Amino acid sequence: GNIQTLSAADLDSYGAHVWLLSPPCQPYTRQGLQKDSNDARASSFLKILELMPQTSQPPVMLFVENVVGFETSDTHRRMAEILEKAHFVTQEFILSPLHFGVPYSRPRYFCLAKRKPLSFQNPLLNQQLIWAPGPLFGHNESMIVAGGNEPQGSLDKSLQACEPVERFLEFKHPSNGVEPESSWLHINVPGALEISAIGSLEQYFVSLSLLERWGNAMVEDIVYPDSKRCCCFTKSYYRYVKGTGSLLATVQRRAEDKIESLEGLRPRYFTPRELCIAGEQFKRSSGRSVARLSIC
């Protein structure tokens, strides 16, 4: 149904102690119109927030997720005002898989809120924006900023800790001295399907016609097996070749080499299985258990 038709009584009827909120991100994306709270898609989230003080059984905890940009929006300002008046304390984070050792750049905004008398283990971080996961695990290396871009020191530290892209591949190229079509080796990933390397991968290589048409525009999207960062993958990946996610160069170039032709790099799309492997390996490579999170 329509969220905007809900009443305070409707919300009370659920008896929910925790609200998990992930409102539409389009009003706040950097590439969108950035209409913020004037975008009709922001109305449902604002409606729920404005109803909360009217409920007889307000939640004791909230979790809000959105894109980077939400933290500087009018909607965020309104959310902070409502939560403060409702006696909530908040801790806010900008976190990316890069922070957890996965070479995938997808920063997102997260807000943890608790209604008094509940409190966080480290109250010094209340009402702060934090660009590192350390405080969630009881560490002290918090990167706190009022807004803007991620501190360079935090980004550099994250990249150093990341595993190379090669670890998350279903197939890898053993050397530069062999043709890509005949040299793909299957990586022993738990749960991986046994499939034909040549037949299955061929469909993921970027066609020569696309390379000739979009080559110069695609350079920034190219990553290598030893890269420690990938662009964010969108739902248009596979449909459009530029700006929807990283492409993998199947021929590793040397640092001193200049890119003269993308054709020589034999770029391909990441396979659906490889995108899933990154999520599975995150659980192993992060070395952190959800039970250890210091959010309760």
Q: Which two tokens stand for residue 266?
A: 């034999």
Angle at 101 (CA atoms; ends 18, 223), nearest 5 degrees = 120
- Respond yes or no: is residue 25 known to be catalytic: yes
The C-alpha atoms of residue 206 and residue 240 are separated, in whole angstroms, by 11
What separation in angstroms does the CA of 242 have from each of 34, 81, 145, 147, 215? 22, 40, 32, 29, 10
The C-alpha atoms of residue 212 and residue 263 are separated, in whole angstroms, by 8
**Which one from 25, 162, 231, 276 is the annotated catalytic residue?**
25
Residue 161 CB burial class (10 angstroms; 0-12, 13-18, ≥19): middle
Q: Can you tell me which residue has the tokens 């500087």?
A: 72
Contacts of 268 (CB under 8 A, 6+ apart): 201, 204, 205, 206, 247, 248, 250
- Which residue numbers are catalytic? 25
